Each structure stands twice: as structure tokens, then as C-alpha cells.
Structure 1
Amino acid sequence: MPRVALTVTQLSRAGVAPPAETNGDPVNHHSVQNNGRMLLLVRNASASTPHTVTLRLPGTVDGQTLTPKTVEIPAEESRYIGPFPTGDYGSTLQVDVDNAELKLSAFGI
């Protein structure tokens, strides 16, 4: 199955309402359009278990796959992550989650 696309909410000086969160999909994972000025908000809805979000880096160096960036989200906490330079992360950011208790939102800055 294809990755679940996240919708990017564009931030503005006028303000925007918080978007609906997307439930993490640990089977199909996620993708989001990346222009290098995008942030993720990842919330862990678990009351007791930390969970991990993984940000994939496209391409290889000397034939070796690049090590993805991982961020642990403590139980009942949130993390803003980004921005993601397109030279490193590409124009489509691939986001993997280890559990559906991770809730995702994407913001353009």
C-alpha cells in the first residue's frame, strides 16, 4: 500500500486553527510534501509508553543507505520536529511511526 499522505497546514501571521491530527499508521507509514520549510508536530497519546518516529533520508552515499533520523516521543508528550532541508530529506518526506498512538500534524512555515 502507498504511504498515507499528511496534509500541510500553512501557518500565517493571521493565525490558523489547529488541524485535525492524523493517526499514525505503523503499517503503511506516512509521506508529506516538503519544501524545506515544513515542521511536524508529533504527539504521543500513550499514557505510559514512549514511541519513536523515524524520518527517512533518500539516496545513498558510496552505495550505502543513509541512516534515518529517529526521535523518541515520551509518553503523553509532543515534539515539534523540523525544518527538513530538501537537499537532505527530499521533496517528499517519508515518516515512519512505530505505533498508532503517535498523532501527526504537518505545518508549513
Structure 2
Amino acid sequence: MPRTPIPVTQITRAGVAAPTETNGDPANNHTVQNNGRVVLLVRNSGSTTARTVTLRLPGSVDGQSVTPRTVSVPQSASRYIGPFPTDSYGSTLQVDVDNAELKLIALAI
């Protein structure tokens, strides 16, 4: 199945309402349209263990896949992650989650 898109909320000087979280989908994972100024807010809604979000980097170096970047989100905590330069992460960011307890919001600054 295709990856589940996470909508991007553009931050403005006038202010915006807090966006609705996207539930983590560990079976299909996610994509985010990336303009190089995107920040992810990842919340671990679980209260028992840390969870991991993985950011995939497209392309290869000398024919070898680039190792994805992983971020641990402690139990009942949140992490802001980003921005993601398009020359490294591409215009479509691939985000993998290890559990549905992770909730995601994408913000563009």
C-alpha cells in the first residue's frame, strides 16, 4: 500500500490553529511534502516505552544506500525534528514509525 501522507501546516505571522495529529501507521508509514523548511512534531502517546521514528534519505553513496536517521521519542514525550534540507532528504520526506502510539504533525516555517 502507498505511504500515508501527513498534511503540512504553513506557519504564518497571523497565526494558525493547531493542526490535527496524524496517527502513526507502522504498516504503511508516511510521506511529507518537504520544502526544506519542514519541522515534524512527533508525540509518543504511550506511557510504557520509548518509540522510534526513522527518516529515510533517498539516493546512495558509491552504490550503497544511505543509512536512515532515527530519533527516539521517550515515553509520554514529544520531539520537534527538522528542518530537512531538500538536497539531502528530497522534496518528499519518507517517515517510518515503529508503533501507532506515535502521533505526527508537520509544520512549515
Question: What is the TM-score normalised by the length of structure 1?
Answer: 0.99
Instruction: Give runs of aligned pairs for residues 11-90 of structure 1, distance below 5 A.
Output: 11-90=11-90
In structure 2, the residue matched to 1:104 is 104
Amino acid paired to 2:86: T
In structure 2, the residue matched to 1:95 is 95
For 2:4 and 2:91, locate their aligned partners in 1 and report how far apart those are by CA, in whole Å: 16
For 1:106 and 1:57, locate their aligned partners in 2 and report how far apart those are by CA, in whole Å: 17
For 2:107 and 2:45, locate their aligned partners in 1 and report how far apart those are by CA, in whole Å: 20
Question: What is the TM-score normalised by the length of structure 2?
Answer: 0.99
1:48 to partner: Cα distance? 1.5
1:91 to partner: Cα distance? 0.4
For 1:79 and 1:14, locate their aligned partners in 2 and report how far apart those are by CA, in whole Å: 25
For 1:75 and 1:16, locate their aligned partners in 2 and report how far apart those are by CA, in whole Å: 28
For 2:103 and 2:52, locate their aligned partners in 1 and report how far apart those are by CA, in whole Å: 11
Gaps spanning 5+ residues in structure 2: where? none
Once superposed, what is the RMSD of the aligned Cα atoms?
Answer: 0.4
Cα deviation 1:5-54 (Å, max 9, x = unaligned): 01000001111111110000000000010010100000000011100000
Q: Which moved more, 1:11-20 or 1:96-105?
A: 11-20
1:67 to partner: Cα distance? 0.3
For 2:62 and 2:50, locate their aligned partners in 1 and report how far apart those are by CA, in whole Å: 34
User: Which ranges of 4 or more aligned residues in structure 1 deviate by more than 4 Å?
Assistant: none
For 2:14 and 2:75, locate their aligned partners in 1 and report how far apart those are by CA, in whole Å: 32
Aligned residues: 109
Identity level (%): 70
